[in-house]
């Protein structure tokens, strides 16, 4: 027997028993995650609806996030990328899929969709009761001379990957140019390097992975270079010259990069041209405006995926987030709601949670970065921590470096970034849920986590990050970041730096001018420093510095701060 909350109206994607739902004609523009997911959800909600999907490409749905891993050879079969087919959609969901059919216009007054067959060029008008726009986004290409050439491809579609695989086959030990250091760009750089090619990555930005804060992105850049990827950051490509057997990227500083083929991964722009022409509302960020039911400004037109804006939890504002997770959830809601006349499903938004693998390093982020918080003038604090991904006494513990951003005013978790070789994924997911739930750093410090030595620690790295942030927010500790310390050390009144690591650790490398007083000797030896003089203490990762700070404060040193993340945070 199915159970239902008696205090809530039916809110199910399977509620299709209303007579008004039975005769609906549902048209969907676009496939992949948004369109295909919406079609399946619409059918689950309404068995009697007529559902048509119009897809301009050759494939109704494919795993675009898997393309770099097919390029690398880790996904061996091209067929594995094809999530579903027109035949399966018809057989399982009774959905009519029209491949190579592009929508060219929406007439809202007559509720008709103008569609062109891209093979025959025949055009028809298709009537709808409800329309779902899932046109996604298109790759951004600047007007750089030479980009429109057969040697220059993207990595967004099956056609793209077929072209890239042909280049890889032809130039198995050749040189590849990757333009753009975002998530797809670095994944492609990794894939081509693993294929044995020489890879040069160029980006106009001064760092890879631009959404990250610079010091976190530096770890990603270091790992790319360690594995042989050449990075040209802060460099502008003025033009690309193509000769018979080789191409050259000409940089603004006069440099020239020779390569055999290139991959363009500069970013995406929402494909809103149809929506604009139809007079639908476009948001300030350039995405199609939808409500929590995925309705556009026309109540009979819904939308899902990269073409839309969504609610961004950290700032509670609308923004564009081109990620597969939100797109799939939006598709379920848009499809079910388009098929129903009654109470509808709802979306809640996203935190922009992402993760990328760079050879043996994983880098994850969720919510606000520090630089985004600064740009939006949001009062915030940050802390760094570093701990093993599981119990230190169990073999194989790998360090996890965590940066947490939280509100100075409320203590609410705003964002986080993590890198490490193991355990990044589950910790970034915990932070994403904490942001969604509106956790404060106090609640994060009290998060309930699974523990056994092979999997974690009794105090999980995320819990420790919450504890450190809670201490900082409540004033139980006063921290200073490596960046802030570097500025103060170059000022006319620098603080005294006390390194409380062991002598051997200090001797192996330390902050210039730091005084070494090991933590276990500090209480006995004390400090020959005026008690009002600025002092910064540090250990390796933050904990010994915190112990030293507490010890000194209670001994009368009022102006003492702990270096957040310890010595390793700045090195």
Residue 225 lies in a domain: yes
Three-state DSSP class for residue 568? helix
Q: Can you point out the beta strands (E) in 56-111? A: 61-62, 82-84, 96-99, 101-107
Percentage of the chain exceeding pLDDT 90: 91
Mean pLDDT of 455-484: 96
Q: With respect to residue 496, please indicate whether it lies within any of the assigned structural domains.
A: yes
Note whether 309 and 293 are same-domain residues.
yes
pLDDT recorded at residue 13:
53
Determine the pLDDT at residue 23. Answer: 82
- pLDDT per residue as tens digits for the range 74-93: 999 999 999 889 899 999 99
pLDDT-based confidence at residue 570 (cuts at 50, 70, 90): confident
Q: Which of 21-30, 186-195, 301-310, 408-417 shows the lowest mean pLDDT across its residues?
A: 21-30
Whether 2 maps to a domain, the answer reads no
Q: Is residue 344 part of a domain?
A: no
Residue 386 has a pLDDT of 95
Considering the domain boundaries, does residue 67 fall inside one?
A: yes
Is 167 within 8 Å of 261 (Cβ atoms)?
yes
Same domain, residue pair 257 and 278: no
The pLDDT-based confidence of 18 (bands split at 50, 70, 90) is low
C-alpha to C-alpha distance for 303 and 270, rounded to whole angstroms: 12
Q: Of the given ranges (61-65, 222-226, 466-470), which has the lowest mean pLDDT?
A: 61-65
- Report pLDDT digits (tens) over 247-278: 999 999 889 999 999 999 998 999 999 999 99
CATH code for position 174: 3.50.50.60
Distance CA 295, CA 111 (A): 16
Examine residue 388 and state whether it is found in any structural domain, yes or no.
yes
Any catalytic annotation for residue 65? yes
Six token digits for residue 484: 């802030």
> What's the rounded Cα separation, in Å, for the pair 102 and 113?
10
Domain final position from 246, 266, 286? 266
Q: Do 114 and 253 have their domain in common?
A: no
Would the pLDDT of 457 be above 50? Answer: yes
Query: pLDDT-derived band of residue 434, with 50, 70 and 90 as boundaries?
Result: very high
Q: Taking a C-beta distance cutoff of 8 angstroms, is the pair 203, 267 a contact? A: no
439 within some domain: yes
Structure tokens at 59: 């494939």
In a domain, 194, yes or no: yes
pTM score of the predicted model: 0.92
Q: pLDDT tens digits for 368-389? A: 999 999 999 999 999 999 999 9
Same domain, residue pair 323 and 250: no
The answer to whether residues 110 and 173 belong to one domain is: no
Q: How many whole angstroms separate alpha carbon 479 and alpha carbon 498? A: 14
- Helix (H) or strand (E) holding 503, with range, is helix 503-507
Domain termination residue (choose one: 266, 288, 318): 266
133/273 same-domain check: yes
Q: pLDDT band at residue 206, thresholds of 50, 70 and 90?
A: very high
Please tell me the predicted confidence (pLDDT) of residue 45. Answer: 95
Query: Total domain count for the chain?
Result: 4
143, 159, 219, 158: which is closest to 186 by C-alpha? 219
Q: Where are the alpha helices (DSSP H) in 110-241?
A: 158-170, 183-194, 214-226
| Of 22-26, 238-242, 458-462, minimum mean pLDDT range | 22-26
Q: What is the pLDDT of residue 230?
A: 98
Q: Are 537 and 545 in contact (CB under 8 A)?
A: yes
Look up residue 289 and give its DSSP letter.
Answer: P
Of 215, 312, 318, 203, residue with least CA distance to 252: 203
Provide the mean pLDDT of the chain: 93
Domain enclosing residue 257, as ranges: 152-266
pLDDT confidence of 341, banded at 50, 70, 90?
confident
- 191 and 112 inside one domain: no
- Catalytic choice (12, 25, 65, 194): 65
127 and 49 inside one domain:
yes
Asked if residue 73 has pLDDT above 50, the reply is yes
Q: At 5, is the pLDDT very low, low, confident or very high (cuts 50, 70, 90)?
A: very low
Q: Where residue 492 sits, what CATH number does that domain have?
A: 3.40.250.10
564 in the same domain as 470: no
Boundary-marking domain end, from 338, 368, 383: 338
The predicted-structure confidence for 500-552, as pLDDT tens digits, reads as follows 999 999 999 999 999 999 999 999 988 989 999 999 999 999 999 999 999 99
Q: Which residues are within 8 A (CB) of 352 and not within 5 positions of it... i.e. 6 or more apart?
A: 211, 312, 321, 323, 365, 366, 367
Same domain, 501 and 558: yes
pLDDT in tens, 104-113: 999 999 999 9
pLDDT tens digits along 393-420: 999 999 999 999 999 999 999 999 999 9
Instruction: Give yes or no: residues 258 and 407 share one domain.
Output: no
The span from the CA of 308 to the CA of 285, in Å, is 10
Residues 397 and 422 reside in one and the same domain: yes
């Amino acid at each position: 027997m199915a159970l239902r909350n008696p205090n809530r109206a039916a809110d199910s994607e399977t509620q299709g028993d209303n007579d008004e739902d039975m005769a609906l004609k549902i048209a969907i523009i676009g496939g992949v995650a948004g369109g295909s997911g919406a079609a399946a959800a619409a059918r689950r909600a309404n068995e009697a609806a007529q559902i048509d999907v119009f897809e301009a490409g050759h494939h109704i749905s494919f795993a675009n996030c898997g393309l770099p891993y097919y390029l690398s050879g880790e996904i061996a079969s091209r067929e594995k990328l094809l999530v579903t087919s027109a035949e399966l959609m018809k057989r399982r969901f009774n959905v009519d899929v029209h491949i190579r059919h592009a929508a060219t216009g929406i007439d809202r007054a007559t509720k008709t969709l103008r569609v062109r067959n891209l093979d025959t060029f025949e055009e028809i008008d298709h009537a709808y009761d409800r329309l779902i726009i899932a046109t996604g986004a298109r790759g951004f290409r600047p007007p750089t001379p030479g980009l429109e050439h057969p040697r220059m491809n993207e990595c967004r579609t099956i056609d793209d990957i077929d072209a890239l695989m042909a280049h890889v086959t032809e130039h198995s030990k050749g040189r590849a140019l990757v333009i753009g250091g975002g998530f797809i760009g670095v994944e492609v750089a990794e894939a081509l390097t693993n294929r044995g090619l020489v890879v040069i990555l160029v980006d106009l930005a001064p760092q890879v992975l631009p959404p990250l804060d610079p010091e976190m992105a530096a770890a990603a850049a270091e790992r790319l270079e360690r594995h042989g990827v050449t990075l040209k950051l802060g460099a502008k490509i003025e033009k690309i010259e193509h000769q018979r057997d080789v191409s050259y990227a000409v940089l603004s500083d006069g440099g020239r990069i020779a390569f055999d083929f290139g991959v363009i991964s500069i970013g995406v722009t929402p494909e809103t041209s149809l929506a604009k022409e139809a007079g639908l509302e476009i948001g300030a960020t350039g995405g199609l405006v939808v409500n929590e039911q995925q309705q556009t400004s026309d109540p009979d037109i819904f939308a899902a995926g990269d073409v839309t804006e969504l609610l961004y939890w950290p700032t509670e504002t609308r923004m564009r987030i081109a990620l597969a997770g939100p797109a799939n959830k939006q598709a379920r809601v848009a499809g079910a709601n388009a098929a129903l006349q009654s109470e509808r499903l709802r979306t809640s938004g996203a935190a922009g949670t992402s993760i990328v693998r760079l050879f043996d390093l994983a880098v994850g982020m969720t919510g606000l970065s520090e630089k985004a918080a600064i740009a939006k003038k949001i009062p915030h604090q940050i802390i760094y921590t570093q701990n093993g991904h599981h119990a230190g006494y169990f073999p194989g513990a790998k360090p996890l470096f965590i940066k947490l951003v939280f509100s100075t005013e409320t203590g609410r978790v705003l964002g986080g970034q993590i890198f490490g070789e193991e355990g990044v994924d589950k910790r970034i997911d915990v932070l994403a849920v904490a942001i969604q739930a509106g956790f404060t750093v106090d609640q994060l410090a009290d998060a309930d986590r699974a523990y056994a030595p092979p999997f974690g620690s009794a105090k999980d790295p995320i819990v420790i990050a919450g504890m450190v942030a809670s201490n900082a927010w409540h004033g139980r500790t006063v921290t200073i970041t490596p960046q802030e310390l570097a500025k103060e050390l170059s000022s006319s009144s620098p603080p005294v730096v006390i390194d409380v690591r062991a002598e051997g650790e200090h001797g192996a490398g330390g902050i210039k001018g730091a005084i070494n007083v090991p933590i276990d000797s500090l209480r006995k030896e004390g400090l020959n420093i005026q008690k009002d003089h600025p002092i910064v203490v540090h250990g390796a990762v933050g904990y010994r510095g915190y112990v030293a700070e507490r010890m000194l404060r209670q001994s009368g040193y009022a102006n003492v701060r702990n270096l957040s993340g310890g010595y390793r945070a700045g090195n």
